[in-house]
A = this chain, B = another copy of it.
């Protein structure tokens, strides 16, 4: 089970490896939200997303002999790159199982970071689980799950330690901390860190419309599934449902979930571009969109939005600028 001691231990292992991201702000964003808005830009993290923290925490926590055999992950995106870089930095092999129709650049990036990429056909034949089992049995690799994995949650939780530290420095005593939420690894990790180091700060999961499983699960008290798990703009944070480990943590510690539209996401991306000079992917802009356009749903204090990643194709990025790049 993840707890604050695991998060502190992960932070110690990540020191000198993960980037210590700052807490940014802009008077223009404050004006839109009608309150002080702070931004934690994990798009500036190695591999362009917070996933490097969890990947590094998990790989570094393995026993030497298990680690030497290598690690395995299923991912079409940010988790793949985080695990690949963490494995390479430990000098151990990584195998990443990716769908053959994943964006060519993500496949190329994951390979360039040192991973062996195994492609599977989403349409049929061998499932990715069968493929994973076969590789795992043959090579005795350790599977690194993307969120329902205590060491991964601990790694993502280091983001929360930094938020608590910077909030204290800036005198932020009460605030909602809005977090882009897929399976809940980042949200639950941050919630645990805040419980220990900044009890006046409350984590809240943020999701895109149509994929609001965490918000509905928190509202009903039982795990809810999404009707579909693909096709959304915010691909990076779309998962079937909250995790078995992450949900109880969120249930105990988080405030209600927030839900934003795709248009609000595109506008938040353009504002991050113009006002913070940050490149944010759609899934990574969900919490900022909630901070800017749903402040009525938030408490009375400051709001801190975690930008979870920046790995976006040029086409989608340009769509944001074409629609909202004049910042009106």
Residues on A facing B (Cβ under 8 Å)? 19-22, 24, 27-28, 31, 41, 43-44, 48, 105, 109, 112-113, 270, 273-274, 276-280, 310, 313-314, 317-318, 321-322, 325-327
Contacts and interface: CB of A to CB of B under 8 A. Distances in A.
Contacts of A27: 112-113
Nearest to A170: B16
B327 A321 contact: no
A26 to B, nearest CB: 8
A278 B277 CA distance: 6
Chain copies in the assembly? Answer: 2
A181 to B, nearest CB: 20
B277 A310 contact: yes
Contacts of A313: 325
A1 to B, nearest CB: 33
29 contacts: A19-B24, A20-B22, A21-B22, A22-B22, A22-B44, A24-B44, A27-B112, A27-B113, A28-B112, A31-B112, A41-B277, A43-B277, A44-B277, A48-B277, A105-B326, A105-B327, A273-B279, A273-B317, A274-B279, A277-B278, A277-B310, A278-B278, A278-B279, A279-B279, A313-B325, A314-B322, A314-B325, A314-B326, A317-B325
Contacts of A270: 314
Given A277-B280, A278-B279, A314-B322, 10 more contacts: A43-B277, A44-B276, A48-B277, A105-B326, A270-B314, A274-B279, A277-B278, A277-B279, A318-B321, A318-B322
Contacts of A280: 277
Contacts of A31: 112
A20 B20 CA distance: 12
A314 B321 CA distance: 6
10 closest A-B pairs by beta carbon, nearest first, are A314-B325, A277-B310, A277-B279, A43-B277, A314-B321, A273-B279, A318-B318, A48-B277, A318-B321, A44-B277
A30 to B, nearest CB: 11
Contacts of A109: 28
Most buried by B among A109, A113, A277, A278: A277
Contacts of A326: 105, 314
Nearest to A26: B46
A322 B315 CA distance: 9
A326 B105 CA distance: 8
A321 B310 contact: no
Nearest to A48: B277
Contacts of A322: 314, 318
A44 B21 CA distance: 12
Nearest to A309: B277
